[in-house]
A = this chain, B = another copy of it.
């Protein structure tokens, strides 16, 4: 590899790892959670705020930025870091998933994906080589290979064909990729079948990417299915490369997944539920819009050090949501992202101190899971969960 990106494992505890992803825009201590800046903005908050929450890397969507304002426009304006005012590491999803979830009238051939824009209905063709070119133009630190993500419930044959095409595209992405200051990650597919997952992990490992993502999960399958596939797949990936579980997940998912050896995550949950009044707490998620918070003078979460919790009462945030004030979603977003980043920090510490198993046990005992999948589906098209924040 000629990439300026490196990945250094400092400590392992079982399969779990505490490590550092080094990029030309700074270091990312892992396990890490990436806030989602779909269109070049973490909804409602500034890059300064995202940084202050303890975020070291963010995710943007090449599909969205390609359509608007255009990868070429962003390149002329100095690249995505300059454009959006975030000087830390950025990873872009290649657009494969978004084409399948948002694009209309799509047709997939070995050439690439043909689809209509969800914005204006215009017709586009994006090949694996195009996906590399656009992400290089954006100038991000980590580009993702173009993949074909089957829908949950697709038959075995379709899942296998999508995986095989993903493998062929992975080869072409690797060959087309040129920027030495940009890492390229491959994406494991194979649906919900362990054998296919093993085959996909082996094939992609042979291609020698800078990091590996587990894709095609969190697409509507039951939680235990996702956990079974994730826990099986992660350890099959190279130990010296970063492992990224795409589109996952709830706090409980993250706590489990670091135990499988996953290093990085992104998910719309903390930001999307925030805009609807869902507030994460150590004991589980609450709806701040509930009447019981109407005169609650305490913070959103006791002991939280986020801007919302240190400046405003739960009663005020409750009022802001009922009054449909813009500040409501902003304060809830700040809190939820801080909750996620604090959790990642605790997970890193637990791995380093070899106390991960105890931390997990404690977390499972105190945290009441929400039906996150149902909630996310209710808030927006489920399959778009990885495409918007």
Contact = CB atoms under 8 A, between A and B. Distances in A.
Interface string A301-341: 00000010001110110011011011101100000000000
B330 A44 contact: yes
Contacts of A69: 294, 315, 319, 322
Given A85-B312, A313-B83, A316-B85, A326 B323 contact: no
Interface stretch (A70-78, A92-100, A162-170, A358-366): A70-78
A227 interface: no
A40 interface: yes
A85 B311 CA distance: 7
A218 interface: no
A73 B43 contact: no
Interface string A284-301: 000000000011010000
Contacts of A46: 307, 311, 327
A178 to B, nearest CB: 25
A10 to B, nearest CB: 34
Contact of A43 (B47, B83, B325): B325
Given A73-B295, A78-B297, A313-B77, A41 B325 contact: yes
A305 to B, nearest CB: 16
B330 A326 contact: yes
A77 B315 contact: yes
Interface in A217-235: none
Interface in A36-56: 39-41, 43-48
B295 A76 contact: yes
A84 interface: yes
A68 interface: yes
B295 A83 contact: no
A325 B68 CA distance: 12
Contacts of A39: 319-320, 323, 325
Contacts of A294: 69, 73
Given A325-B43, A326-B330, A327-B45, A68 B319 contact: yes
Contacts of A85: 311-312, 316
Contact of A326 (B40, B297, B329): B329
Nearest to A42: B327
Interface string A53-93: 00000000000100011000100111000011100000000
A131 to B, nearest CB: 21
B73 A327 contact: no
A42 B284 CA distance: 31
Contact of A327 (B41, B68, B311): B41
A83 B45 CA distance: 22
Contacts of A312: 85
B323 A43 contact: no
11 contacts: A39-B320, A39-B323, A40-B323, A41-B325, A43-B325, A69-B294, A73-B295, A78-B297, A326-B326, A326-B330, A330-B330
Given A39-B319, A44-B330, 6 more contacts: A40-B325, A41-B323, A41-B326, A68-B323, A69-B315, A77-B297
User: Would you list the 6 A-B pairs with minimal beta carbon distance, nearest first?
Assistant: A44-B326, A39-B323, A41-B325, A41-B327, A69-B319, A43-B326
